[in-house]
Chain A
Amino acid sequence: MSRILKFNLNGNPAEVKVGEADTLLEALREGLAFTSPKCGCNHGDCGACTVIVNGDAVKSCTVIALTAEGKNVWTVDGLAKGGKLHPVQKAFHEYGAPQCGYCTPGMVMAAVAFLNRHPSLSSLTEEEVKDALSGNLCRCGGYKKYAQAVIAAARGDFGPLPEQEGSGKNV
């Protein structure tokens, strides 16, 4: 049977027809054609499907879509504003972090959720960044540049981090 899932996607109200056992990843990709979250392993291991739900980075393949009813979901599609990339996206681009790019949308969302939640960005350590991205596998092995780019974004090298976008705290 199918049901209608109503939630907020990237700050906009969204409605989508979902199967009752569909994952949030399927609802986004197949129901709404938001293909930025990737279906890498469909097992909660690889992190390519990471999105932000109510401010937390989650692996959307581990979430039954209907449990997201009424929640605020952000994908990488909602980060750029007025044609300008989010500082994390800019940092990844400038640092040449993505190689094949398959893990990148998940990496971006994990990094954004981490930076939004971090209490003091000035004292952020590389270990913390590695921990925050530990659920995201990069088979090109580009971990180092991803970590460096996140630290640069936290430092403000790519402009101030926007308050609300993707944080989902009140949006």
Chain B
Amino acid sequence: MREYEYHAPESFGRLFELASADGVESRFLAGGTDLTPRISAERNQIPRYKKPPLRILYLGALGLDSVTDAGEDVTIGALCTLSSLLENAVVKAKLPALHEALTEMAGVSIRNTATIGGNIMNASPAADSVPALLVLGTECTLRSASGERRVALAEFFTEPGKTVAKPGEVLVSVTVKAGRGGSSFKKLGRRKAETLSVVNAAAYVELRDGVCEAVRVAVGSAAPTVVRCADTERALVGRKIGEDSIRAASSLVEKAISPIDDIRASAWYRGRVAPTVVARAISAAAERKRG
């Protein structure tokens, strides 16, 4: 059987030293709601070939669990649990789409453990926080032994389960723009709670006298990564926001997506419901701005 090591380094120096060792595979552990069951499943299998030891590097002792409100921007530590963010007044007031996404994510006992950084780094196309963060405008801060770099969330994911983070780079925080517009997140799952999205969508809308001045729309679980819907956005800018314009623009979402069949839904079904979920997100975002 494979060997496992566990470390909870208290400094980044020690973390990167441990992460760069030869002959072991290193994985960063945040909340563990995705990684722990994956390790358990691996431990229950008879390995086909010898794997190097797995070094589990717990990030919980690095103090990455705070939220900083800098006016225009809100910086969220990667290790903030979903529950702590759900209760956070700054997130609720300034980042409504993210707050709404958090209410829809899993159930209480998973939210108590799972972290925002883990949801991003797991890089699932169905991650619920990602469309919300994408339409709000988010930059990810990656830290490695050689320093920090910032990557726009829009350029962060490359394929399911993959990000631009290099081995040894750890996500320390995300910086999210508050913006003056309204934002919202909507999700369609197989059941109400504790479910992965069949399709999810988020929208950010800036209005002046009912006319759309700026809009960002993202849809998830309908392509290899969460995607922006450029055609939908173009169809809305400069138009009066109403039921008809939203419906027409939302129907263009099919140009942005490439859904697949999986255990949760068929590609056909995803293609049919995506415009509806997108339309709901846009209406709610516009409504939030008015109200």
Task: Tell me the bound Cα distance from A19 to B192 in angstroms.
Answer: 36
Task: Tell me the bound Cα distance from A113 to B113 in angstroms.
Answer: 14
Task: Tell me the bound Cα distance from A59 to B6 in angstroms.
Answer: 20
CB-defined contacts of B108 to chain A, threshold 8 Å = 57, 110, 113-114, 131-132, 134-135
Q: Are A45 and B194 in contact, with the CB atoms below 8 A?
A: yes
Q: Are B33 and A134 in contact, with the CB atoms below 8 A?
A: no
CB-defined contacts of B40 to chain A, threshold 8 Å = 21, 23, 42, 61
Nearest B residue to A3 by beta-carbon distance?
B6
Interface size class of A (residues with CB under 8 A): 20 to 34
CB-defined contacts of A136 to chain B, threshold 8 Å = 109
Task: Tell me, rounded to whole Å, the shortest Cβ–Cβ distance linking A128 to chain B.
Answer: 10
Interface residues of B in 37-67 (CB under 8 A from A): 37, 39-41, 43, 54, 56, 58, 60
Q: Are A67 and B32 in contact, with the CB atoms below 8 A?
A: yes
Q: Are B110 and A21 in contact, with the CB atoms below 8 A?
A: no
* B8 in contact (CB, < 8 A): yes
Q: Are B56 and A21 in contact, with the CB atoms below 8 A?
A: yes
Per-position binary interface string of chain A over residues 125-144, scored 1 when its CB falls under 8 Å from any chain B CB and 0 otherwise: 00000011011100000000
* A100 in contact (CB, < 8 A): no
Nearest A residue to B114 by beta-carbon distance?
A62
Nearest A residue to B33 by beta-carbon distance?
A62
Task: Tell me the bound Cα distance from A61 to B59 in angstroms.
Answer: 19
Task: Tell me, rounded to whole Å, the shortest Cβ–Cβ distance linking B264 to chain A.
Answer: 13
Task: Tell me the bound Cα distance from A47 to B193 in angstroms.
Answer: 13
CB-defined contacts of A134 to chain B, threshold 8 Å = 107-108, 192-194
- A135 in contact with B32 given A45-B194, A61-B40, A66-B6 (CB within 8 Å): no
Interface residues of B in 97-120 (CB under 8 A from A): 106-110, 112-113
Task: Tell me the bound Cα distance from A20 to B31 in angstroms.
Answer: 16
Task: Tell me, rounded to whole Å, the shortest Cβ–Cβ distance linking B187 to chain A.
Answer: 14
Question: Mostly helix, strand, loop or mixed at chain A's interface?
Answer: mixed
Task: Tell me the bound Cα distance from A136 to B106 in angstroms.
Answer: 11
Q: Are A135 and B58 in contact, with the CB atoms below 8 A?
A: no
The answer, among B36, B43, B110, for a CB contact under 8 Å with A135, is B110
* A11 in contact (CB, < 8 A): no
Task: Tell me the bound Cα distance from A67 to B41 in angstroms.
Answer: 19
Q: Are B8 and A58 in contact, with the CB atoms below 8 A?
A: no
CB-defined contacts of A69 to chain B, threshold 8 Å = 8
CB-defined contacts of A58 to chain B, threshold 8 Å = 109, 112-113
* B209 in contact (CB, < 8 A): no
Nearest A residue to B107 by beta-carbon distance?
A135
Interface residues of A in 14-72 (CB under 8 A from B): 19-21, 23, 42-45, 47, 50, 53, 56-59, 61-64, 66-67, 69
* B83 in contact (CB, < 8 A): yes
Nearest B residue to A114 by beta-carbon distance?
B108
Task: Tell me the bound Cα distance from A63 to B36 in angstroms.
Answer: 6
The answer, among B37, B43, B192, for a CB contact under 8 Å with A61, is B37
Most buried by B among A20, A42, A66, A136: A20
Show 19 residue pairs from A and B whose CB-CB distance is below 8 angstroms, ordered by the A residue. A1-B4, A3-B6, A19-B4, A21-B39, A21-B43, A23-B40, A42-B37, A42-B41, A43-B41, A44-B37, A47-B107, A58-B109, A62-B37, A63-B32, A64-B29, A64-B39, A113-B108, A132-B108, A135-B193
Additional 13 contacts, C-beta under 8 A, given A43-B37, A50-B109: A21-B6, A23-B36, A44-B37, A53-B112, A57-B112, A58-B109, A62-B32, A62-B113, A63-B32, A64-B36, A64-B39, A134-B107, A134-B194
